[in-house]
Amino acid sequence: MDTPSLLRLGYTRRDLERVVELAGGRFEHPDDVRRVIDSFGYLDDWRANYLIRSVHASLHSDRITCIDGAILSYGLLDLLPQVKRRLLAIHRRDQHGEECGHCVTLWWTESGRIGAFSKSSFVGLGHRYATFKDEFAIATSYAKAYIEMGFTPLYFGITTLEDVASGLDWRFNVGNLNELSERLKERYQYAFILPS
C-alpha cells in the first residue's frame, strides 16, 4: 500500500488504519477487499432512508447497501492500483412488478479473469470468484441468480466511477450520492434475452 500516494488522494491515516483493521491486519491483495466488504452488515431497511454513501462514509459505518459496497470496494482498489476495476449495474423486476437494481465492482486478475465484490442480503447476489472470462459471463451469473429467486433480469451496464460519477466526490462526500442511482440507469447498455 503506497501510503503517501493515498494520502495525496485525500484518504486519512485513520481511513487506511480502518481498512487494514477490517481486512484482518493486512491489505495487499483483492481477497483483502472481500474481507473488508464482508465485515459490514447489510442495511436491510435502505428504503426507509435511501442514501448512497461515499467510500469514506461507508468505511466508517456499520451497515452498507449493495451500491455502498460497490463504491467502497471500487475505492478500496485505489489501494491496489495495478488491479483493473469497473462497476456492473443490473436491473430486475420482482414477482409483484417492482423494479430494483444491484451494483457490484468487477475486478480483473493479471491473467484477465474477472471476479466481483458484492454486498447483498440475497445469497445468490454475493461475491464472484475471478473465474469469469468476460463481463457478459459474470453478468449472466447474476441474471441466473435472479431467475432462481423468481425475479426477471432486465438490463445491465458496465462503467467506471470516474465516468458515471463525474463531478461527484465518490471518495469523500459527507452527504448523499443519490444522483448516482439515475446515472447508473443511464449506463444500461444490454438487455437480458430470456427464453420464452
CA neighbor of 117 nearest in space, from 109, 99, 129: 129
Rg (CA), the chain: 16
Q: At what angle do helices 30-38 and 13-22 cross, to 10 degrees?
A: 90
- pLDDT tier at 4 (50, 70, 90 boundaries)? low
The pLDDT, as a whole number, for residue 193 is 73
The pLDDT, as a whole number, for residue 194 is 61
Would you call 108 helix, strand, or coil by DSSP?
A: strand
pLDDT at 196 over 50: no
In 28-177, alpha helices (H)? 30-38, 55-59, 66-76, 135-148, 161-164
- pLDDT tier at 11 (50, 70, 90 boundaries)? confident
pLDDT at 8 over 80: no
Q: Which pLDDT tens digit goes with each residue over 60-88? A: 999 999 999 999 999 999 989 999 999 99
% of the chain beyond a pLDDT of 90: 74
pLDDT at 115 over 60: yes
* Average pLDDT over every residue of 113-141: 96
The pLDDT, as a whole number, for residue 152 is 94
- pLDDT tier at 2 (50, 70, 90 boundaries)? low
Neighbours of 87 (CB within 10 A): 25
Q: Which pLDDT tens digit goes with each residue over 182-195? A: 999 998 989 887 65
CA neighbor of 192 nearest in space, from 53, 90, 108: 90
Q: Which pLDDT tens digit goes with each residue over 140-188? A: 999 999 999 999 999 999 999 999 999 999 999 988 999 999 999 998 9
CA neighbor of 88 nearest in space, from 53, 140, 135: 135
Q: What is the pTM of this model?
A: 0.93
* Cα 68 versus chain centre, distance: 7
3-class secondary structure per residue, 140-155: HHHHHHHHHCCCEEEE
The larger pLDDT score, comparing residue 72 to residue 99, is at: 72
Would you call 15 helix, strand, or coil by DSSP?
A: helix
